Amino acid sequence: MARVLVTEKIAQRGLDQLAEAGHEVDVREGLSPEELIATLPGAQALIIRSATQVTAEALAAAGDLIVVGRAGIGLDNVDIEAATARGVMVVNAPQSNILSAAEQAMALMLAQARNIPQAHSALVAGKWERSKWEGVELHGKTLGIVGLGRIGALVAQRALAFGMRLIAYDPYVSADRARHMNVELRSLEELVGEADFVTIHAVKTPETVGLIGRDLLAKAKPGLRLINAGRGGIVDEAALAEAIRDGAVQGAGIDVFAKEPTTDSPLFALESVVVSPHLGASTAEAQDKAGVTIAEQVLLALAGDFVPYAVNVAATDVSETVRPFMPLAEQLGRFFGCLHDGLPDHLGIEYQGQLAGTGTGILTLSALKGLFASSTEEPVSYVNAPQLAEQRGLEIRETSTITSHDYKNLIVLRSDSHSVAGTLTGAGVRVEPRVVMVDDHTVEVPPSKHMLVVRNDDRPGMIGVVGVVLGDAGISISSMAVGPSRDTGSALMVLTCDRPVPDESLAQLRADDGIFDLHLVNL
């Protein structure tokens, strides 16, 4: 059971999921930075939204922390570099509010085009001002989309329904993909010079902060209206206010700000600007999805499983070819660790067959996770496994080859003294893992919680010796594979047992002059 500290409001369904899994859910809303630091010790998970600042200082106080979960998309308030340095996984819920955010952008665009908030305020103040608040249609206008990711693509779909022409700036999107979305790609300068409306959906990075600034706005098409329901800080608010006052930009619809919360901005005094207090994700549906999603991700992280939405794991883009091999790679890592008395100097990982060239980085992380889990009591995750390797001087050598003589796919782990290989057999729902080589002996045995690897003299009766010792201890052998050596006159037995082999039995086996080496493997 873990303690999950929740510092901001998330959907009750998410809290219920965590509690039903047996974890202690500690809800402490409205903590000051000092109170957060005092409350974090003893928490294995921290769930936040946008207000809680997870600083390097806070992370330093959270010695037991495994995962930080952001119930939403943006992670501006989390020091990801400091979290990674401490082996803390950072996860978010990137799909939870994309529909709501796209609809907010469209709402601001319509409000800006038709001056709806201004006309409302005038009317409830007793002013009937039809001519003053004349607007423009979206139909036939050119929409420039900055950032054609998930939300930008949804905005594009909706804008097409209004009959808008679409152009976009996104250096990471191919012309073919954009063309498939009925979008023409432009440079950023071309986009602002051609568009009637511009909507911002870029990721906030050091490179994109202030991306829409004074120099760029000076190149804007006369009458441009700017919408930002993405991330605060990408638009220079002072420069935008100046461009609107000077008439270079017609108006703006702004939902996000460089500093939040904020009640003071040069944009607030401008009649042609529509603002809202970061409402992009503020729908009942988005909040429910965010709470449930982040609870699911935190549960996976606490269980040591692969977390799809981890943002500081080196390999998160997992293909359907690779994904089924992740548990096998971790099991092989554990098996490999149990064969060694200590950590080897290096770990060679070879991917053979169809796996070669398919993004096997996550399999290497899985193998490392298994290797270190076999030798340490501290939690090992996809985040801190590479750090453990670096700290302990483990050299990792990864190779791939499309050639695999006996199997469609094969994962081989090797050091100077030991080796193990595995594959998946069967098809559909009957896919099963198999260990098919140990220390260059060909075997075939399913991985099991309790296993025994015995290298012995290749002479009659040795299988019986092992069987008698285990039988006397009341241990059933679930499966066994024997692999003779062509060169050394020795053989290898790999056994799966129904329970752990006691120390007395291991000592008895080691005392037999026909047994050269013995390893207990616990998966």
CA atoms of 41 and 384, how far apart (whole Å): 19
Active-site position among 49, 186, 201, 231: 231
CA atoms of 384 and 177, how far apart (whole Å): 36
CA atoms of 63 and 44, how far apart (whole Å): 9
Active site residue 70: no
DSSP secondary structure letter of residue 325: G
Tell me the HSE value of 6 on the side-chain side, using a 13 A CA sphere. Answer: 21
CA atoms of 37 and 60, how far apart (whole Å): 9
DSSP string across 265-295: -GGGG-TTEEE-SS-TT-SHHHHHHHHHHHH
Sign of CA dihedral 124, 128, 134, 137: positive
Pure H helices in 445-490: 462-472
Pure H helices in 258-394: 284-302, 326-339, 361-373, 384-391
Give the list of residues 6+ apart from residue 157 with CB closer than 8 angstroms, or none. 181
**φ, ψ dihedrals at 491, nearest 5°:** -135, 165
Active-site position among 49, 201, 225, 278: 278
Active-site position among 184, 260, 398, 444: 260
CB 355 within 8 Å of CB 322: yes
Active site residue 450: no
β-bridge mates for residue 199, sequence order: 145, 227
Give the list of residues 6+ apart from residue 116 with CB closer than 8 angstroms, or none. 110, 274
CA atoms of 217 and 240, how far apart (whole Å): 7
Give, for 398, the enclosing helix (H) or strand (E).
strand 395-401
**φ, ψ dihedrals at 273, nearest 5°:** -115, 130
Sign of CA dihedral 326, 331, 336, 338: positive
Burial 59-75 (b: 16+ CB within 10 A, else e): beebeebbbbbbbbbbb
Instruction: Locate 155 and state its tokens.
Output: 């905005």
CA atoms of 185 and 205, how far apart (whole Å): 21
Active site residue 278: yes
Sign of CA dihedral 42, 45, 47, 52: positive
Catalytic residues: 231, 260, 278
